């Protein structure tokens, strides 16, 4: 028994997986419960699928705009809560696709220690660096959300686009980025964990944090226009969240991921044209 605990202390991967699993579960559950918005994500998704429910849902739940933002709309509390909501979504959507990179980093550290090397890099710090990038994106997205609500381009209640021009513009942006050189470069970095670690290895806690931050930056570089599509279909629309998360997962982990990314770009471009036509 003592030997098993010693091996666990040296390896640390089971603890890391458990901790990341708890973070993922907490983020997903908080998002499903509405992230403090007054209406659950399931209720918002139902209203998107069945618009006749919208009046009922509005009467029973969505007081978020009045309670948090106040008459002027801008409120530090509102921005903070929306940033946390976005961060929970990003953790739930992006952590599964980042898990292989984090676990490979942990395996390299564990093998180095088993061979007697003084490996001071911490996989926990690597994960923290990765999540810090998405926290920064979440703050920017929350400010964008408030600005779009204030200008009437997205619904203050359902958080989806109310402008065909906004929808088409975001779809065209995402479509163009899907086939861009920058997207491809970032995707290559995300799809090659061992090469990434070999090129960017840094020892120590801050070195691991920096590697995680760099990986998060490449991940953000792959996906940020796709994340902005939540403004089109609804920020808390579970179908959109699931579809985008699946697309990101396939792009980063599946064999034909690059081809899928380019095919997705073509589909988004057709969708943009249809948005302007109807």
CA distances from 99 to 116, 122, 237 (A): 26, 15, 24
- Helix 181-191 / helix 164-178 crossing angle, nearest 10 deg: 60
Q: Write the pLDDT tens digit of every residue in 165-210.
A: 999 999 999 999 999 999 999 999 999 899 999 999 988 889 999 9
CB–CB of 122/208 below 8 Å?
Answer: yes
pLDDT at 165: 95
pLDDT at 273: 95
**Mean pLDDT of the residues in the chain:** 84
Comparing 75-89, 125-139, 174-188, the range with the smallest average pLDDT is 75-89
Which range among 73-87, 128-142, 189-203 has the greatest average pLDDT? Answer: 128-142
Residues of the chain with pLDDT > 70, as a percent, come to 83
Mean pLDDT of 157-161: 84
CB–CB of 248/93 below 8 Å?
Answer: yes
Q: Is the pLDDT of residue 5 over 50?
A: no
Q: CA-to-CA distance for 246 and 251, rounded, in angstroms?
A: 9
DSSP for 225-256, written as a single string? HHHHTHHHH-TT-HHHHHHHHHHHHHHHHSTT
Beta-carbon contacts of residue 122 (< 8 Å; ≥ 6 apart): 109, 205, 208
Q: Which helix (H) or strand (E) holds 18?
A: helix 13-32
Q: CA-to-CA distance for 145 and 160, rounded, in angstroms?
A: 10
pLDDT at 41: 84
pLDDT at 31: 87
Task: For the chain, give percent helix, strand, coil, nearest 5.
Answer: 80, 0, 20
Q: Write the pLDDT tens digit of every residue in 6-44.
A: 343 445 677 888 889 999 999 999 888 888 777 778 877
Q: Is the pLDDT of residue 116 over 70?
A: no
- What tokens were used for 42? 């399931």
pLDDT at 72: 43
What are the boundaries of each domain within the chain? 2-277
Centroid of chain to Cα 235: 12
pLDDT at 60: 46
């Amino acid at each position: 028994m003592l030997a098993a605990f010693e091996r666990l202390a040296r390896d640390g991967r089971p603890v890391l997986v458990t901790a990341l699993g708890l973070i993922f579960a907490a983020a997903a559950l908080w998002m499903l419960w509405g992230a403090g918005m007054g209406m659950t994500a399931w209720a918002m998704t139902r209203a998107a699928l069945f618009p006749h429910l919208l009046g009922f849902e509005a009467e029973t739940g969505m007081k978020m705009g009045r309670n948090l933002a106040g008459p002027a709309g801008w409120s530090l509390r509102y921005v903070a809560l929306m940033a946390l909501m976005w961060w929970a979504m990003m953790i739930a959507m992006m952590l599964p696709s980042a898990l292989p990179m984090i676990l490979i980093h942990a395996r390299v550290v564990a093998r180095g220690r088993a061979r007697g090397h003084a490996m001071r890099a911490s996989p926990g710090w690597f994960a923290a660096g990765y999540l810090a990038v998405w926290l920064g994106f979440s703050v920017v997205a929350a400010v964008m959300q408030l600005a779009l609500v204030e200008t009437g381009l997205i619904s203050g209640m359902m958080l989806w686009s109310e402008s065909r021009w906004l929808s088409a513009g975001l779809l065209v942006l995402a479509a163009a980025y899907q086939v861009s050189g920058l997207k491809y470069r970032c995707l290559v970095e995300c799809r090659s964990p061992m090469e990434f670690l070999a090129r960017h290895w840094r020892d120590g806690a801050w070195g691991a944090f920096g590697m995680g931050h760099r990986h998060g930056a490449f991940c953000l570089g792959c996906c940020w226009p796709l994340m902005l599509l939540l403004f089109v279909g609804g920020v808390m629309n579970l179908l959109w969240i699931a579809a985008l998360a699946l697309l990101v997962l396939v792009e980063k982990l599946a064999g034909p991921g690059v081809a899928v990314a380019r095919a997705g770009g073509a589909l988004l471009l057709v969708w943009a044209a249809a948005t302007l036509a109807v």
